[in-house]
Amino acid sequence: MTDQTETDSTVVEVMAELAALEDPKIRAVNERHGDDHGVNLTKLRAVAKRLKTQQDLARELWQTVSSTPEQNA
């Protein structure tokens, strides 16, 4: 039997969901404002609300962030 509740998701599932929500137009607008994501903020907040607080999942998702030269400076 598993410990996961109905709200628990895996990193792969969340990343796939975010990839499906990716919108090139949103990315272009966000890049002009110094952001590097392409998901509408309202949709992103809906995902966050559904996922609630899952500290382990959050840590794993943070580890998936690509390292950029700016982050290494």
**pLDDT tens digits along 23-58:** 999 999 999 999 888 999 899 999 989 888 888 888
Scan for tokens 């996922």, then name that residue: 51
34: left (phi over 0), alpha (psi -120 to 50) or beta: left
Q: Note whether residue 3 is domain-resident.
A: no
In the predicted model, what is the mean pLDDT of the chain?
80
Residue 23 falls within a domain, yes or no? Answer: yes
Angle, in degrees to the nearest 10, between helices 11-21 and 41-51: 160
Q: For residue 4, is it within any domain?
A: no
Total of domains in the chain: 1
